Amino acid sequence: MISKICRMMRLNEANRYFLEMVSKCYVNRGAKLGTETFWAYLYHRYADNCYCYSGYAFMGMADNDKLIRGKIDLEDCPIYDHGWLEFWYKDKEYVFDSRLSRIVRKKAYYLRFKPKIEYQFTKEEILSKYLVEGRATSSQNGMLWVVNKNIDNGEKGHINGVMEGAQIKLTKDGKVKKFVAYDKPNG
């Protein structure tokens, strides 16, 4: 009983850490709809998908965390294409999966969903690809804006939808201070 309580407390601590990390992530839904925090956006469950949800949250996480693309085993669909993120907190690995709207221990996630990883990315890999001349420009508010509309649509891992139109503010040492995704309004 005590070990179960300790596991729950560690999970709650990891969840607070995750919430703190993604507090620098926002989603701009256009002039009429405004900008929301990542959690408000996730709560509303707009027509987006796991690739966007995991990608938006990932931009707030630590540099050694991973954005994952692959397949998971669901009861009604044994080969479900999916995206999630994996992160470390106090020497334990956790998973954020938008289908669950929460974090879980990686060990439990892998046991339950039997994921098959196809692609995994670090933040450095993503930023080094998108924050380059021709793909990003400085905006008046001191943020970098990913503007290239001719991004390779065949790119692996569904990263284009996360990065296209995004604004990113970096610290002097290159860490993401603020990430504002752009979600094209429907209709």
Residues 32-44: pLDDT tens digits?
Answer: 778 889 888 888 7
> Where do the domains of the chain lie?
2-182
CB-based contact 94:104 (threshold 8 Å): yes
pLDDT (mean) for 12-20: 93
Most confident of the following: 3-7, 93-97, 176-180: 93-97
Give residue-wise pLDDT tens across range 129-143.
888 777 777 876 778
Q: Which two tokens stand for residue 100?
A: 């669950």
Question: What's the rounded Cα separation, in Å, for the pair 87 and 66?
Answer: 7
Can you give the pTM of this predicted structure?
0.86
Predicted pLDDT of residue 49 = 81
Give residue-wise pLDDT tens across range 97-114.
988 878 999 999 999 999
